[in-house]
Amino acid sequence: FGLGLDTRNYYRADRVEAVGYHTFDAVSMEVEPFVGVRAERDRSVGPDSLATSGPWSIFGRTSIKRMRRPNPAVIRGALRSVIVGGNLAWEAQRVRATVQLTNEAAAFDVGDRRFVQSTLHGEIRFPTFAAQEFWLTTHLVHTFGDTAPPQRWSYLGGAGTITTLPLLTLGGDRLLYVESNYYVPLQRFDLPILGTPSLTLRHIIGSAGVGKLPSFEQNLGLRVALSFARFDAVVDPARRSWEFGFGLSMAR
């Protein structure tokens, strides 16, 4: 609404889905397996590369890189699938880990495609020295069988993934993304109202493609944060290209 930035990709779908969950609780762990079925009919939605209008925003409403950014096209057709997976959360002695796994066995009526797509998202977080903290996030998508249609593709590039690559540079039905963060609060500079400034050292590596993973791309970054404001400096060490950004976060 304000800056006209929306990096999500959209397509239109009529969908019916039923999923059953059950939660198992232990002292330091929670496991939630699920199984379900899904039927959907998909089609592309604007804006496309010829769009002359788009959603309203204060800034960027006529920009091809903002509110008029084209959505990746999908293949019109019907998907029917069975979904099996689970969520796990574990915490002990200030170490926290979460894992989400989804397996979708699907049939697509265009080209009579059959595929199984597994998506794994995991994070582990733990303290190191004093108030410092390390966390690692990984996201994996792997498709077995036929090539998944574009509505089941995942992408890398742009803010939030590999910053030095343009938005949607890498994409396909296979993806691997790993992000490491080392957080250092500067406690000796605790400021009234604003709180404690912090530094975060970041390493990001990933790849995405259709049928296979191409060469991996990586970024090194430094984030400086104070209260709700943050500044990012990111470099691609192979190309020696830099990106700088400033943002506001609801979490301090």
Over the stretch 22-78, which tens digit does the pLDDT of each residue have?
Answer: 999 999 999 999 999 999 999 998 766 555 556 656 665 666 666 667 788 999 999
What domains, with CATH codes, occur in the chain?
18-42+74-248 (2.40.160.50)
Query: In which region does residue 238 sit, left (phi positive, over 0), alpha (psi from -120 to 50) or beta (all else)?
Result: alpha
| Contact (CB, 8 A) for 134 and 105 | no
Predicted pLDDT at 48: 60
Over the stretch 143-163, which tens digit does the pLDDT of each residue have?
Answer: 999 999 999 999 999 988 999
Over the stretch 85-115, which tens digit does the pLDDT of each residue have?
Answer: 999 999 999 999 999 999 999 999 999 999 9
The helix (H) or strand (E) run that includes residue 18 is strand 12-21
Q: Which of 51, 73, 63, 57 is nearest to 3 (CA)?
A: 57
**What does pLDDT average to over the chain?**
91
DSSP 191: B
Cα dihedral sign for 167, 162, 98, 184? negative
Lowest mean pLDDT among 2-11, 125-134, 138-147, 225-234: 2-11
Distances, alpha carbon 116 to alpha carbons 108, 120, 179, 213, in Å: 11, 13, 26, 17
Q: Which residue has the tokens 């979708």?
A: 104
